[in-house]
């Protein structure tokens, strides 16, 4: 098969971790007889430095004309980087939000798995971590608070900021359907997370999800308030299969879930629309403080590349091969600094990438 991939290394650790994911993709392609054509694109701070804006129309077009996009991470240190002297709509993050919106990527899948080998890296008490967990956070990605109207104005001499949280039932229905479909391929449970005791948007969310559930009699649906969910994630994470939630709640809960797995450097993600097209990126950020030091964990990006093969190309055997290689490297005791523990072998970003590629 011929795979046309757009690659956005981005900022901070982005270029390093993407390089390692490409090693895994190249090895997989070689092994299974595929051909990958890469087109590198600029986004975020890297694009600001060259074009003055975090995302150009040409970049959007180039991304659209590929089969899938592999991304590293974008953004810098807000306190020190000149990118953050720019107006908010010209900063690195604005580029990522615009790209997701332009590509219609409404469904963000963030799997959070506690690997047996990494149980001691899990910050939870042993009686909780020994149960393990394997959940899929489904975050709505192109609506809600991050895309509503916003403004800051002075009212009677007082600075006042407004952000609006808008959802219509169609936006809720399409992400709910995706969540139920995915739950059907897993353990058949969806926990929809909202704040229906306060927010109208959450009440509509809950009502719509319940309507969609009628078409999925085999899926067990439950509802949970977001504050309770934040607590349950550290108290009893093994109860979750698919967590379905709106944009901001998903942003926050997925960071929490990732840390419970031991490190945010382990979490892959896929952002999908209604076609096979998708954008694949690690859940973590650009970590500018450790950029360029060969210490970042590339595993989340390598696993994102596996998701790319699985969801955009239906190459399940190939994706399995990458995931198995990651598992094997962990079993053999290789660790980057973030997941290091006694008795293991500490390796850098590039060596971790080489070790994984060699096991594909
Ligand atoms: C994420 C990030 C982004 C988001 C930022 C960088 C805009 O935190 O992918 O979770 O909030 O979606
Ligand atoms: Mg986030």
Q: Is the pLDDT of residue 120 over 90?
A: no
Nearest ligand 1 atom to the CA of 141 is 12
Ligand 1 pocket, mutate which of 248, 269, 285 (most atoms under 8 A from CB): 285
Residue 86 CA to residue 309 CA, distance in Å, equals 37
Domains of the chain by residue range: 1-122+262-360, 140-260
CB distance 93 to ligand 1 below 6 Å: yes
**Cβ atoms within 10 A of the Cβ of 292, count?**
12
* pTM to 2 decimal places: 0.94
Provide the terminal-to-terminal Cα distance of the chain, rounded to the nearest Å: 18
What's the pLDDT band for 196 if we cut at 50, 70, 90? very high
Question: What tens digit of pLDDT does each residue of 26-66 get?
Answer: 999 999 999 999 999 999 999 999 999 999 999 999 999 99
**Ligand 1 centre from 216 Cα, in Å?**
31
Strands (DSSP E) found in 147-219:
150-155, 158-163, 189-194
Residue 187 CA to residue 182 CA, distance in Å, equals 9
Strands (DSSP E) found in the chain:
2-10, 35-40, 68-73, 107-113, 134-140, 150-155, 158-163, 189-194, 220-225, 242-245, 270-272, 278-280, 334-335, 345-346
Residue 353 CA to residue 17 CA, distance in Å, equals 8
**Which distant-in-sequence residues (6+ apart) come within 8 Å of 231 by Cβ?**
none
Nearest ligand 1 atom to the CA of 74 is 6
Residue 261 CA to residue 40 CA, distance in Å, equals 31
Residue 149 CA to residue 97 CA, distance in Å, equals 14
CB distance 281 to ligand 1 below 6 Å: no
Q: Choosing from 216, 251, 311, 334, which is the catalytic residue?
A: 251
- Concatenating the DSSP letter of every residue in 86-99 gives S-GGGSHHHHHHHH
Closest CA to 199 of 141, 142, 144: 144
Question: What tens digit of pLDDT does each residue of 245-273 get?
Answer: 999 999 999 999 988 998 888 999 999 99
Nearest ligand 1 atom to the CA of 100 is 12
**What average pLDDT does the segment 195-201 reach?**
98
Q: Mean of the per-residue pLDDT values for the chain?
A: 96
Q: Is the pLDDT of residue 19 over 90?
A: yes
Query: Pairing between strand 150-155 and 158-163?
Result: antiparallel
Q: Choosing from 26, 134, 255, 294, which is the catalytic residue?
A: 255
As assigned by CATH, the class of the 140-260 domain is alpha beta
Query: Percentage of the chain surpassing pLDDT 70?
Result: 100
How much is the pLDDT for 347? 98
How much is the pLDDT for 121? 86
Q: Tell me if the domain spanning 1-122+262-360 has CATH number 3.40.718.10.
A: yes
Q: Is the pLDDT of residue 284 over 90?
A: no
CB distance 145 to ligand 1 below 6 Å: no
């Amino acid at each position: 098969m011929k795979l046309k991939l757009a690659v956005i290394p981005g900022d901070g650790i982005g270029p390093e971790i993407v390089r390692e994911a490409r090693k895994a993709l190249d090895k997989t392609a070689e092994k299974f007889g595929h051909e990958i054509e890469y087109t590198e694109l600029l986004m975020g701070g890297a694009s600001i430095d060259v074009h003055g804006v975090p995302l150009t129309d040409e970049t959007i077009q180039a991304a659209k004309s590929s089969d899938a996009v592999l991304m590293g991470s974008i953004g810098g240190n807000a306190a020190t980087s000149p990118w953050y002297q720019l107006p908010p709509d010209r900063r690195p993050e604005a580029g990522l939000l615009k790209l997701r919106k332009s590509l219609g990527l409404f469904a963000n899948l963030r799997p959070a798995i506690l690997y047996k080998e990494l149980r001691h890296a899990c910050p939870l008490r042993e009686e909780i971590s020994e149960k393990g967990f394997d959940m899929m956070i489904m975050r709505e990605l192109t609506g809600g608070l991050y895309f509503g109207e916003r403004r800051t104005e002075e009212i009677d001499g007082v600075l006042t900021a407004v952000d609006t949280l808008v959802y219509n039932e169609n936006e809720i229905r399409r992400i709910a359907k995706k969540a139920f479909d995915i739950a059907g391929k897993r353990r058949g449970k969806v926990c929809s997370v909202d704040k229906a005791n306060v927010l109208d948007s959450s009440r509509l969310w809950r009502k719509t999800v319940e309507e969609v559930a009628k078409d999925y009699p085999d899926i067990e649906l439950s509802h949970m308030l977001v504050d309770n969910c934040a607590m349950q994630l550290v108290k009893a994470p093994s109860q979750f299969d698919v967590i379905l939630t709106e944009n901001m709640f998903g942003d926050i809960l997925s960071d929490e879930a990732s840390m419970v797995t031991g490190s945010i450097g382990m979490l892959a993600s896929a952002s999908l629309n209604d076609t096979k097209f998708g954008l694949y990126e690690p859940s973590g950020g650009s970590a500018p403080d450790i950029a360029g030091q060969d210490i970042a964990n590339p595993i989340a990006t390598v696993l994102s590349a596996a998701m790319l093969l699985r969801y955009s190309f239906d190459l399940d055997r190939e994706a399995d091969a990458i995931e198995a290689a990651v598992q094997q490297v962990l079993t053999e005791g290789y660790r980057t600094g973030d997941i290091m523990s006694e008795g293991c072998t500490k390796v850098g970003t590039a060596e971790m990438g080489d070790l994984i590629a060699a096991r594909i």
